[in-house]
């Protein structure tokens, strides 16, 4: 009887991507004993839906429109509204019949100002 000591075999760490129905959309075998999502982008990015929404910043999208003592820069609430629109556009091709998708949570850092007229 031939036995193999598992510790002498090279370790392989699979990275798998499944959809909601349980179908495997992508996989990558990584050498070593990897306990992280390292290289996730090579598996996930080709499968991610992408959406766009193009808007130009107008006065009504600024903080000044809300409070005149604030600067005329894009408000975070409008940025989030546009992010929601882009996400909706990304998911729309996956909706069937009268299905739609709406956001339920968001985690965003709004780190730079955007003035009136910017895209």
Label residue 6 by pLDDT band (50, 70, 90). Answer: low
Question: Residues 6 or more apart from 68 whose CB is under 8 A from it?
Answer: none
* 63, 116 Cβ separation under 8 angstroms: no
Domain range summary for the chain, segments of one domain joined by +: 1-48, 49-119
Instruction: Give pLDDT, residue 12.
Output: 74
Separation CA 19–CA 41 (nearest Å): 16
Instruction: Give pLDDT, residue 92.
Output: 86
Question: Residues 6 or more apart from 84 whose CB is under 8 A from it?
Answer: 102, 103, 106
Mean pLDDT of 38-65: 85
DSSP output for 95-116: --TT-------------S--BT
Of 65, 71, 15, 81, which is closest to residue 45 (Cα–Cα)? Answer: 15
CATH code: domain 49-119 is: 3.10.129.10
Instruction: Give pLDDT, residue 5.
Output: 57
* pLDDT surpassing 80 at residue 39: no
Task: List pLDDT tens digits, range 54-92.
Answer: 999 999 999 999 999 999 999 999 999 999 999 888 888
Label residue 117 by pLDDT band (50, 70, 90). Answer: very high
Alpha helices in 1-119 (DSSP H): 40-44, 63-66, 76-91
Tell me if residue 31 falls in helix, strand or coil.
strand
Instruction: Give pLDDT, residue 25.
Output: 81
Q: Is the pTM of this model over 0.75?
A: no
Separation CA 106–CA 9 (nearest Å): 43
* pLDDT surpassing 60 at residue 3: no
């Amino acid at each position: 009887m031939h036995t193999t000591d598992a510790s002498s075999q090279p370790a392989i760490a699979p990275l798998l991507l499944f959809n909601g129905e349980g179908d495997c959309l992508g996989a990558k075998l990584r050498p070593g004993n990897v306990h992280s999502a390292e290289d996730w982008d090579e598996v996930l990015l080709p499968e991610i839906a992408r959406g766009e929404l193009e808007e130009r910043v107008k006065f009504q999208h600024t903080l000044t429109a809300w409070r005149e003592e604030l600067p005329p820069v894009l408000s975070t609430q409008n940025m989030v509204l546009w992010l929601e629109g882009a996400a909706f556009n990304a998911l729309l091709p996956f909706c069937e019949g009268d299905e739609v998708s709406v956001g339920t949570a968001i985690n965003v850092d709004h780190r730079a100002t955007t003035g009136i007229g910017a895209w």
